Structure 1
Amino acid sequence: MTFQITLQPAARQFDVARDEPILAAAIRQGIGLPYGCRDGACGSCKSRLLEGRVIHGAHQLKALTPAEESEGFILTCCATPQTDCVVEARSVPGAGEHPVLKMPTRLLSLERPAPDVAVLKLQLPANQQLQYRAGQYIEFILRDGARRSYSMANAPELLGSPPAIELHIRHMPGGVFTDHVFGAMQPREILRMEGPFGSFFLREDSDKPIVLLASGTGFAPIKAIVQHMQARGITRPAVLYWGARRRADLYQHAWCEEAAAAMPQLRYVPVLSEATPDDAWSGRTGFVHQAVMADLPDLSGHEVYACGAPVMVDAAQRDFVARCGLPAEAFFADAFTSEADKHGPG
């Protein structure tokens, strides 16, 4: 038995098998529904059910509250339809999505620009062409079948020769994968990955000014978007806010300064939340999303692209919409949800 899902306003339709989550069926059929963790933890796939009935699998209350569920919201990553359904999904980008591929990659280089950050460059196989949008991510497939997600930090126009993707990985002590990256990973090691995934990329049919908002290694997909804008000659005004705890955490600060110097339409605003005298910091301090609000109290004509810790992304979305007039549909986000986050309380 299958059910039919109709997405509005795109008027796209696809089938979902019995007991299959809506999102899994959409990905299988090349439909670009928004999503993040695919585990019911981040809320990135939250959509409104206009018609029909679904049953939700396990999910965290912070991703979908009972009040939101009563108002008709669903998490497509863990909602299985019980009838044909109509779902509102205003950010569905439509046709032209790139195919999802599984492929091996070889470690070309590993640098440590900060004590807890590794920058990996991974060579792509010559016989498979990975196509993606700047801002999307891949998933490593570990030996036990578990997956870990990381955003490409270079635009597809800048894969280089041999073609390689750049990833920024923060060390999560006790994490199976990041402990390996920061400990036992060997030169030329082979890793298995799948991608691209995600609906976090620049909407190029708009001419609105852009706010690029990052915290920590959430800078990676933002860097790819900046590179893409430069490569494609996109001249929309943009400002990059990068929030970190200490000066050392701005691990590619010089790159941001150089990009802003090379792109007249781009400004760069670094913000430290825990600056100390040792940082010798004369720049902005505090929470990065509050720096945006101080500079741009009226966001009604902007688009915001945010990536980083879920607490930052959630606060930015809430405050920008409620206090700065940002249209809810003009906030695009990719929250980093660690394994600890996924299995934490509600």
Structure 2
Amino acid sequence: MGFQVSIQPSGNVFQAEPDETVLDAALRQGLSLPYGCRDGACGTCRGKVLTGEIAHGKAQIQALDDADRQAGFALLCCAMARSDLCIESREARSLEDIPVKTLPARVHKLTRAASDVMLVELKLPANERLQFLAGQYIDILLKGGRRRAFSLANAPHEDAFLQLHVRHIPGGQFTEHVFGGMKERDIVRLRGPQGSFFQREDSRKPMLLVAGGTGFAPIKAIVEHAIAEGCERPMHVYWGGRARADLYLMELAEQWSAAQANIRFVAVLSDSPTDERWSGRTGLVHEAAMADHPELSGYQAYVCGSPAMVAAARRDFLARCRLPADEFFADSFDFAADTLAVTAHLTHTDA
């Protein structure tokens, strides 16, 4: 039987099972409490127990002394509820709440999702975790000061592994390595989280989420985070590609729509071969979204894909559908040459 945990000052409430830590329970339900190592060593997750009882279990609590305990403080990455709780802890809701880290990571798994798309799962050291907001990206650090940026495709609560969706760019320094030389257990270095493309959770407006190609990665993270936190905002997800193979996780997106009453998924192909016998929507993905939503004055739009698609969506959503300019959020995937990488605001490279 679980316990109810309320957070001050936000007033958010979640359920914690007796055999899971307070932090794990909060993350599982989409609440972004601060954390670092998740092992009792760094103290980032320190919070105060206002009412109720907790147990720290057998973990070595290095970042909490006796005076802290007597004052009611706990390390939420180790503390387990033993009654209903009221805790005091800030929640990560903005870029300023989350530190940027440089970390090593091991390649845990490589999955060829399409002929030119690799799903790369990275595992951080046992005593490290990367806290991030749904939709952000990381930089993979290369030799010579170069870096390549990839959106995180997993939701923040599923942080045991970091998932990247890597499209093969012929001649691209990093993607050639991913498809031709990278092996499981290889070590890479990363820095993150980065970027201001993330779900704005303080709004109750319906969300229009538009992805082109591997721009699906951060959209996936946003949707799965929203599902985890029980978000009831309407979410209209559009994913476009040239051919069916470009929609490499279409079954997953269809499952969202089938299981969640507030999620609608639409696949759009712009250049499907005749022999595919595609019976779904055709044309440009942002135009399909506009056909279904000609009036966007009450929406938020999250758009991720090629620079041309992002630019067209911004122009048309604002001019033709009356989307407020401050409700358009985008991440544009540029392809970097093999020179020192420069990451522009709201733009990242993935070659």
Q: Structure 1: how far apart are the matches of 2:188 and 2:298?
A: 43
Give the alignment of 1:237-256 within 5 angstroms.
237-256=234-253
Aligned equivalent of 1:315, options 304, 312, 315: 312
Secondary structure of 1:241's counterpart equals strand
Q: Structure 1: how far apart are the matches of 2:96 and 2:171?
A: 39
Q: What are the Cα deviations for residues 183-206 of structure 1, in whole angstroms up to 9, with x where unaligned?
A: 011120000000000111111111
One-letter amino acid matched to 1:118: M
Aligned to 1:230: 227
Aligned equivalent of 2:266, options 236, 254, 269: 269
Aligned equivalent of 1:192, options 152, 174, 189: 189
Q: What 5-or-longer segments of structure 2 have no aligned partner?
A: 1-92, 343-351
Aligned to 1:12: none
Aligned to 2:37: none
Q: What 5-or-longer segments of structure 1 have no aligned partner?
A: 1-92
Distance 1:207 1:171, change over 3 A: same
Q: What are the Cα deviations for residues 5-37 of structure 1, in whole angstroms up to 9, with x where unaligned?
A: xxxxxxxxxxxxxxxxxxxxxxxxxxxxxxxxx
One-letter amino acid matched to 1:112: R
Measured after TM superposition, the shift of residue 173 of structure 1 is 0.4
Distance 1:254 1:157, change over 3 A: same
Aligned to 1:157: 157
Measured after TM superposition, the shift of residue 325 of structure 1 is 0.4
Q: Would you say 1:210 and 2:204 are equivalent positions?
A: no
Secondary structure of 1:233's counterpart equals coil
Secondary structure of 1:300's counterpart equals coil
Q: Structure 1: how far apart are the matches of 2:178 and 2:95?
A: 36
Q: Would you say 1:181 and 2:178 are equivalent positions?
A: yes
Give the alignment of 1:136-147 within 5 angstroms.
136-147=136-147
Give the alignment of 1:107-122 within 5 angstroms.
107-122=107-122
Aligned equivalent of 1:324, options 306, 315, 321: 321
Give the alignment of 1:1-346 within 5 angstroms.
96-159=96-159, 163-340=160-337
One-letter amino acid matched to 2:125: P
Q: Structure 2: how far apart are the matches of 1:308 and 1:338?
A: 11
Q: Is the 8 A contact 2:141 2:147 kept in 1?
A: yes
Measured after TM superposition, the shift of residue 232 of structure 1 is 0.3
Secondary structure of 1:236's counterpart equals coil
Distance 1:144 1:228, change over 3 A: same
Measured after TM superposition, the shift of residue 145 of structure 1 is 1.4
One-letter amino acid matched to 1:284: R
Q: Is the 8 A contact 2:135 2:198 kept in 1?
A: yes
Q: What are the Cα deviations for residues 58-110 of structure 1, in whole angstroms up to 9, with x where unaligned?
A: xxxxxxxxxxxxxxxxxxxxxxxxxxxxxxxxxxx757421000000001110
CA RMSD of superposed structures (Å):
1.5
Runs of 4+ aligned residues of structure 1 deviating over 2 Å after TM superposition are: 93-97, 340-343
Measured after TM superposition, the shift of residue 129 of structure 1 is 2.0
Aligned to 1:25: none
Q: Is the 8 A contact 2:95 2:196 kept in 1?
A: no
One-letter amino acid matched to 2:333: F
Number of positions where the alignment pairs a residue of Structure 1 with one of Structure 2: 248
Q: Structure 2: how far apart are the matches of 1:333 and 1:290?
A: 16
Distance 1:95 1:184, change over 3 A: closer
Q: What are the Cα deviations for residues 162-216 of structure 1, in whole angstroms up to 9, with x where unaligned?
A: x111100000000110000000111200000000001111111111000000000
Q: What are the Cα deviations for residues 210-252 of structure 1, in whole angstroms up to 9, with x where unaligned?
A: 0000000000000000100000000100110000000011000
One-letter amino acid matched to 2:113: P
One-letter amino acid matched to 1:210: M
TM-score by length of structure 1 reads 0.70
Secondary structure of 2:318's counterpart equals helix
Q: Structure 2: how far apart are the matches of 1:194 and 1:227?
A: 23
Secondary structure of 2:97's counterpart equals coil
Moved more, 106-115 or 123-132: 123-132
Measured after TM superposition, the shift of residue 340 of structure 1 is 4.7
One-letter amino acid matched to 2:183: Q
Q: Structure 1: how far apart are the matches of 2:319 and 2:199?
A: 23
Secondary structure of 1:188's counterpart equals coil
